[in-house]
Structures are given as C-alpha cells and as structure tokens.
Amino acid sequence: MKPDEYYQKQIDHYTARLKQIKKRRNLITLAKLLTFGYMIFLIYLLINHSTQPLLLLGIGAILVFIFLTLWDSQIIYRQHLIEELLRINTLESDYLAGNFSALDQGERFNDPAHPYAHDLDLFGEDSLFQHLNRTVTFSGTQKLVSWLLSLSKDPEVIHSRQQAAEELCAEPEWCQHFRAAGALHPTQALDAVIFKSPFFSKHSTVRLILWIANTIVIVSWAVTSFTPLPFSISLVLSLLQLSALALYIKKINAYHQRLNLFLKTISNYLPLVRLIHDQSFRSPYLQKIRHSLFTPESNSLQALTQLHRIQNSLDQRGNIVIAFILNGLYLKDFHTLLRLDHWRKKYGPDIETWTDVLSEADALISMANYRFNHPAYCLPVICQDRLLDTEEIGHPLLKSERNVTNDFSIRSLHQIAIVTGANMAGKSTFLRTIGVNLILAQSGNVVCSRYFAFQPMTLFTSMRTTDSLSKDTSYFHAELLRLQQLVNIAQQEDKVFIILDEMLKGTNSVDKLNGSLAFLKRILSYPISGLVATHDLALGELADDFPEHFFNVCFEIVHSGSQITYDYKLHPGISSNMNASILLKQMGLI
C-alpha cells in the first residue's frame, strides 16, 4: 500500500472511531448526571427517612458514580489518543502533499560554523530536519540532531540503524502509537543535578518511628469506632500528627517543588516504556534497547509504574480535604517522600541509561517514518572499491516532479570533480544533492537514489560563507577562515569529502583563479576528495595537469537567441555555454 493511501485509510478509520467514542462519552455523561440526581434524591429521603435500605441504595449509587467517573476518565484518554493518531496521519498526509507548515524546522540547531549543516539546509524552512524529524521526546530530538551533526564512520553503527529502521518501517501503526503516547505525555530536558540533590531524610529510623505513630493513631480510631470510647482521644492523636507535619511542611514543599518537573518528565516515559515492553523485536539494535530497559536487576516498567504512583500521590497534596484526612490518619506526605527517597536510591543510577535508549528508539522511529514515506528511495550500501558511487541520485528535498536525477561516482581519495556550468544550470543543487544524501546515508537513512554505495567519511562544505560586522570579518576573510577550518579538519581525519561552491568569491578574478589553483593543489597532500563548483573554466585545466586527481563534469545549457533550455543533467567535460549576458538582457538590465 502506498504511503498516501495508508494515511488516508488511517484517517478514515480514526475519524469513524472518534465519532463512536464521542457517542459513548455522551451516554456516560448522561448516566453520570442521572446517577448524581438519584444520589441527591436518596440524600433527601435519608434526611426524612433514615432507613438501612435507603443507606445501602445510597452507597450503591456512590459506587456506581465512582465507576462511571473512572470509566469516563479512560474514555477521555482513549479519545485524546485517537485524536492524536488522527492528527499524526493528517500531518503525514499533508507532508506527502507538500505542506510542511506543522513540522518543526529545527532552526534552533542551526550553526553557520558547523562543517556542513548550514550549507546543506540541515535545519530551517523546508530542511532535511523538517522532512525527517518526528521525535516526541526532548532527548529523542537531541539524539536525532546529534546523529545528523556527527555522522557515524562506523559501518556497524550505520548498518544497525538501517536494520532497526527497516523493522520499524514495517510496523507503522506501532510507531504511530509511540508518537501519540509521547505527544500526550510530553517530556522536557532532565537536570541530573536536581535529581542528585539531597534526600528528604537520611535517617533509617524515621520510617520505623512513623509506622509506630501511625499504628497507634489508626488503632485508636478503630477502637473508637467500635467501642463507646470518646473519639476525642483519636482526634488529639491525629492533630498531633498534623502538628508534626506542619513543622516540616516548608521542607516538604521545597523538596516537592525542586523535584516535581523532573519527576513528571521521568514518569511520562512510562507509556513509551510499556509500548516497547509489549513489542518484540528482531534487529540487534532494537533488542539491545529492549534489554537495556528490562533487566532482571532494574526493570524500567516496574520502576516507572512505581514512580507514576508516587507522582500521583504527590499531586493529591493539592486536594486539601484528602490531604487533611490521610495525613491525620497516617502522615501520607511523609510516607510518600520516603518512598520517593527509596526509589531514587534504587533506580537513580539507571535513569540516564533509560532516557538514552528511549531517545534512540524515538530517533529510530523518525527514521522509520521517513523510510515509510519514501518507498522509492534506496538503502545505501557500504563499499570498499569506490569512495562514492551513485545512480539516478536526486535531491531529497525537491518534489519528485521537479527532481532531475544524475549518475555520479568518485573512485578514491585524492580525486576531485571540477563542476562547471552556466548560472542556474544546476551546479549548486547538484552539490547539495550529493551532500544531503551523504548525511542521510551516514546517519542510517534511505537516500534519494536508485543505487548508492559509499565509504563512511568526514563531510565538509563551503557554500554559504558570510561576512560578520560584529566580528569585524570581511567576506574574503570569512572565506579564508572557512578554508582554514577545512585544512584543520583534514589534518585530523583519515578521509574527508569536500563540497566547495565558487571558492574565493571575495577577491578579483585573477587573484581568485590563482588562489583557487594553488589551494586545490595544496590539499592534494591531505586525505581529501569531493566536488568543487566554479565559474572559472581555467580550473578545468587541472584535469590535464593532474589527470589522476582531477576530472571535469558540467551542466550545459542550450540557447537560441534569447531562449535558454536547461536539462539539469550532468555531462563529462568543461561547460562551453554561459548565460549571464542573455539573462541580463531578458531582465532589461543591459
């Protein structure tokens, strides 16, 4: 089934389910109103006729009302889940139709100084991140960004991500439930320093003292309830407990406030952990994630279930009536914080591991979704005999109807393709096509190509150099700094793939040509290969002087008078046609 057909089928399915569940909610709401009215009527009768049958009927009505309320809460959550699943499928359907407005652009991650992110539209409007990212946890987003900004050069890591994404791609409904659960239970950045803060109590005897005091109070209330003894004794004991609580209330509030956001974030991972627990996996990477979450010594499902109950207990502190009764009876707040201390001691060291593997699962689900959305894309293979070999490669950010594909290959290190061509003939787009697909390949994703073989390597680009008034940096100086950054990286890496677009634009044409020639000859001493696009046709002569290191490819145009035809196809050799004068005439500028 095609992706667009699948999403439309899911939209129809969840739309129908949403109508059904809303009808059910309306019936439950009506039943709650009738039950509540019946309870009021019974209270009226009890006031006037206090009989045991009426009392039993009243208790029964209360139990029915509680049942309906709990059922309604479950229905509400199910409704929110279905609404989120409907939103997810609508979002993906809109994405395939070319509407990206609801997707995160990731502009906050953009860094012009990064070796390739700014040049290759990794972040921002209509960026690779916007096409790829579907993460639902804060740490998952960070993990995916780190995979895109720090490309893996380990074939095993790349292959393991490919396998995991392939398996998840075959489970789109499970992936969508993971995304829906994450959206309904949002997480934030975790501050490990806060969680490592001091415990509420360091004394092991506190719990024993509490149990002794609680037992005395509870027994006193039980005796008072079934004997003629006055309840004033029990009341005094409860007030003493509340007085003890009042002495520590400031410390309790500060402790709760300090950990509240952290606890909510951790406990919100529970639905995601439960989904992974209930799913079996075949790929080694996903099995490793599952094993890390559910070890015999530290089971995240049990731990987070306990934490969720603790969090709910802490949230109940806002209900003054319940807090007054339960604290007066057995000092509930003290017990809850001691349970939290115990939980932190037992599971605190595992939190970092759990959040890390969950972030990996979250990032892999985004990759699986990207793969599902692009069934025509190919799975890259890692090869040894060629540095880069592609067939029918296209730009993954362009719509298919506008995407012209090309074949391109580089055999080994120290080979550089000189790319020439007229303005708007496709040079820069082709450079970005190679760069973006390399990012996808080395991060473990599918690529926009019929065939794609590569060797993992360090990627560096220089395409959008800008000056900086605040840093007192001219355009030409900024270009030099960028090239210096390239040399520094090349001195430290064993394999660097470069993509340079129009080197040294900030100086005169003669100086630009001489400088470019000298620099390209210089970098042959480093483990470098790649592409260099230029309007200086004289750079093409490098292929004559150093045929083992340079070769020429170009984008040609055909023009007849003022008519220009672009085919955006890559050809061997140096471009022979230019179009600047024709374009200036067409726009009435000359």
- The tens digit of pLDDT for each residue in 156-197 reads 999 999 999 999 999 999 999 999 999 999 888 776 656 666
Q: Phi and psi (nearest 5°) for 120?
A: -105, 20
Residue 579 has pLDDT above 60, yes or no: no
Select, from the ranges 152-161, 564-573, 581-590, the one with the highest average predicted confidence (pLDDT): 152-161
Alpha-carbon distances of 478 from 39, 113, 352, 474, rounded to whole Å: 78, 11, 40, 6
Nearest to 426 by CA among 394, 396, 464: 394
Sort residue 416 into left (φ over 0), alpha (ψ -120 to 50) or beta. beta
CA distance 287 to 280: 8
Q: Phi and psi (nearest 5°) for 239?
A: -65, -35
Specify the pairing of strand 416-421 against strand 550-560. Answer: parallel
Alpha-carbon distances of 358 from 135, 159, 202, 206, rounded to whole Å: 11, 19, 32, 36
470: confidence class by pLDDT, cuts 50, 70, 90: very low
Residues 125-154: tens digit of each pLDDT: 999 999 999 999 999 999 999 999 999 999
CA distance 128 to 169: 19
Residue with tokens 């959008």: 464
pLDDT at res. 417: 95
CA distance 551 to 420: 11
| Residues whose CB falls within 8 Å of the CB of residue 100, separated by 6 or more in sequence, listed in order | 94, 125, 126, 130, 131
CA distance 481 to 483: 5
pTM over 0.75: yes
- Give first-to-last CA distance, the chain, whole Å: 54
| Residues whose CB falls within 8 Å of the CB of residue 526, separated by 6 or more in sequence, listed in order | 487, 490, 491, 496
Locate 324 and state its tokens: 């007054």
Query: Counting beta carbons within 10 angstroms of the beta carbon of residue 97, is it exposed (0 to 12), middle (13 to 18) or buried (19 or more)?
Result: exposed
| HEC string for 194-243 | HHCCCCCCCCCCHHHHHHHHHHHHHHHHHHHHHCCCCCHHHHHHHHHHHH
pLDDT at res. 587: 47
Residues 507-566: tens digit of each pLDDT: 677 778 888 888 999 999 999 999 999 888 888 889 999 999 999 998 887 665 566 667
- In degrees to the nearest 10, what's the CA dihedral of 373, 377, 380, 385? -170
Mean per-residue pLDDT, 384-411: 90
Residue 495 has pLDDT above 60, yes or no: yes
Residue 346 has pLDDT above 80, yes or no: yes
Mean per-residue pLDDT, 297-314: 87
Residue 479 has pLDDT above 80, yes or no: yes
127 or 475, greater pLDDT = 127
Computed over every residue of the chain, the mean pLDDT equals: 85
Specify the pairing of strand 550-560 against strand 563-572. Answer: antiparallel
CA distance 489 to 526: 10
581: confidence class by pLDDT, cuts 50, 70, 90: very low
pLDDT at res. 340: 85
Residue 258 has pLDDT above 80, yes or no: no
CA distance 395 to 103: 20
pLDDT at res. 469: 40
CA distance 289 to 272: 12
Query: Do the Cβ atoms of 245 and 333 come closer than 8 Å?
Result: yes
pLDDT at res. 480: 84
Among 18-32, 368-382, 567-581, which is the least confidently predicted range?
A: 567-581
pLDDT at res. 131: 96
CA distance 428 to 434: 10
pLDDT at res. 583: 43
Buried b (16+ CB within 10 A) or exposed e, 369-405: bbbbbbeebbbbeeeeeebbbbeebbbbbeeeeebbb
| Residues whose CB falls within 8 Å of the CB of residue 263, separated by 6 or more in sequence, listed in order | 307, 310, 311, 314, 340
H helical segments located in 503-541: 509-522
Query: Do the Cβ atoms of 122 and 51 come closer than 8 Å?
Result: no
pLDDT at res. 313: 78
Nearest to 504 by CA among 494, 488, 496, 516: 516
472: confidence class by pLDDT, cuts 50, 70, 90: very low
Among 155-159, 294-298, 458-462, which is the least confidently predicted range?
A: 294-298
pLDDT at res. 196: 66
Residue 104 has pLDDT above 60, yes or no: yes
pLDDT at res. 468: 47
Among 147-151, 457-461, 582-586, which is the least confidently predicted range?
A: 582-586
Locate 113 and state its tokens: 């100084």
Query: Do the Cβ atoms of 185 and 270 come closer than 8 Å?
Result: yes
242: confidence class by pLDDT, cuts 50, 70, 90: confident
- Strand intervals (E) in 248-387: 381-382
Mean per-residue pLDDT, 441-459: 97
